[in-house]
Amino acid sequence: MYDRQDFDMKAYIEKRMLEITSLDERRLFKETVGDILLALYDYNQKAYDSLEERILEECSSSQERYAVSIALTDRRHYDATDPFMHPICQEDTQERKVSYEDIQDAFDKKEPRKLYSVFLEMSASKIYELLRQENRLFHGTIRTEKREYSASFLLKQNQTYRKYVESLYYIFGANYQPWYTVCTAYLSKMLDVHICHAEKMKEKENILEIQVDFEEYASNIRYDMVPLWNLEPVTEKTSTYPNPSIDKINYEHQIFSRRLNPRCGYLIRNTDMEITNIRRLKGDLYITCPVDQPCEWMLYQVNCGTGKEHYPYPVLSNRYKDSFSGSITEMFRKSIKTKGEMARLIESFSYDGYVTFQNCRICDQLPKECIAGNYNMDAFIQDEIRTGSSRQVLLLDFSVKDADCYLNEDIMSFLVTQVQKIFPEYHCVGRLIQGEEN
């Protein structure tokens, strides 16, 4: 598409008119040719804009309506009135108090007990190396109103947020929507602090503070963090009595548009119900299922941002860019056969500020340097069909904008996961390189 700002038809006609020396001929040219050309040009521009709008509307996939964005904030800066982002886990907004019973439970069961979660602001490869040290203990103290007790602690990968994303995968399936990989960069850096051993308390004491020496990781540990996403849980009741369907088995439940946000998409969370159809018509939401009585529907309202929101950490989304090429990416992503087409797929996401795709090649073995910095963000999907257990490796090279950014490997993993979905016959991995390679 050309940029119409490069050519000004009105200025061009005025310039041509000034080249006509005869005033009568210039006046005649202005009244006939000039006005006709300008009117025709304006008409063409309006038709072009209308065509472009219709094409974009026709090409807009469900990906835009159900794009998932994830951000991160600390509890002190969390805004409960934010219309865009909401806590993935509502309990994160409440201060977690460790009690005597929590400590005692670890003693009774003789196994590590989760106390709270922290955010480790480090690269994926460094977190991988940390978690590989399964028995790595960190020493600390438990301070009560009477004395201090020495204790040892363990860091483990948090699974709570992964379960939320995994449940979202099944919700998309129940809503007959294709799954779009969620960028879980922040969630993969959430770690749980478990208590392993401690001096035994002879009697019940109120715990005032727990301090852990995370040694070389201490400067990168962030406490009281709240992962956010743009999915707002809401509950709506069937607005009117369900209408029997033509099959004489199901009933159509209607939720009036005035109770819904016209700018938002909606996902039904009632995965235990046998839903046969979901549609949106003139703002109303229609749900077809065998239930013959009005009922409450648990929904996810997929909020849209204005671009003016501000959070302590950047918002990471699986949404395509706001462009024509971004809109049609989903239509043609299944037919990628060249490096250029792969580059367009990767560039359709707004992550060129982190990494840029450079090249790809097929290898027989997985490069060892790629193991720590890569992880599949759809790893929880177990029903995927593969072409074989022994696959070649598709290695994707990415250059980085800021070599010190701790999100580089996570963004790379998200983009590689997109490619992995298209090339199941390969084991896709990414590699960060310095500069650009041909």
Spans of all domains in the chain? 4-59, 69-229, 233-302, 320-433
Q: Are 253 and 241 in contact (CB under 8 A)?
A: no
- The two tokens of residue 416 are 């590689």
pLDDT of res. 157: 95
Contact 40, 308 (CB under 8 A): no
Distance CA 315, CA 318 (A): 10
The answer to whether 209 touches 145, Cβ cutoff 8 Å, is no
What's the pTM value of the predicted model, to 2 decimals? 0.82
What are the average pLDDT values for consecutive 10-residue runs of the chain, which has 438 residues?
Answer: 58 76 78 75 83 61 82 94 95 88 76 92 97 92 91 94 95 92 97 90 86 96 96 94 89 93 92 89 90 93 88 93 56 68 89 94 92 94 66 93 96 95 91 73
Contact status, residue 385 vs residue 424, Cβ threshold 8 Å:
yes
Q: Identify the pLDDT of residue 329.
A: 54
pLDDT computed for residue 34 by the predictor: 66
| Phi and psi, residue 277, nearest 5° | -165, 145
pLDDT the model gives residue 129 = 96
Q: Which regions of 249-408 does DSSP assign to beta strands (E)?
A: 251-255, 265-268, 277-281, 284-289, 296-302, 316-317, 355-363, 392-400
- How much is the pLDDT for 1? 41
Predicted local confidence at residue 62, as pLDDT:
62
Instruction: Give every CB contact of residue 21 below 8 A, 6+ residues apart in sequence.
Output: none
Residue 368 backbone class (left: φ over 0; alpha: ψ -120 to 50; beta: rest): alpha
Q: Please tell me the predicted confidence (pLDDT) of residue 384.
A: 67
The whole-angstrom separation of Cα 23 and Cα 29 is 10
